[in-house]
Amino acid sequence: MIAYLLALLASPDDAIDRMTQYMANVKTLSVDLRFESAGGQYVGIGKLIFEQPSSQRYTMKLGSSDYLFIANPKGQIEIEHRRRRYREFPPDARLTSPAGLLSDTPAIAFPLPLIVGDVYSIL
């Protein structure tokens, strides 16, 4: 029985290939995020919502950061609520990772594989 169940489990490559295929066809996606650093000193919660080809919203509360990034065909904005700072950017024709000029949060906890859609290309 256990051997049969183990045979049903996909290899890591199969799982990545299925994700890549799924992301190539998805038009909208909403993901609740939980981030915990290896040492456990940083725990964060957030959300990523996107609609192809270029609208997205990313929020993350991590450590002392309360970060928001919004992008749509009219432009992009990143906000660091706790520091009361924001920055505007011109629109991008595709989904993109936040610039992270106001906070390190995107560099630490942004789920890049979901935007890129292909894990292999960022390894």
pLDDT of residue 1: 41
- For residue 114, the Cα-to-chain-centroid distance in whole angstroms is 6
pLDDT tens digits for 40-83? 777 899 999 999 888 999 999 998 999 999 999 999 999 999 99
105 pLDDT higher than 70? yes
Higher pLDDT, 115 or 81: 81
Say if pTM beats, i.e. exceeds, 0.95. Answer: no
Place of tokens 């390190």: 104
Higher pLDDT, 26 or 104: 104
pLDDT of residue 72: 94
Query: What is the residue-averaged pLDDT of the chain?
Result: 85
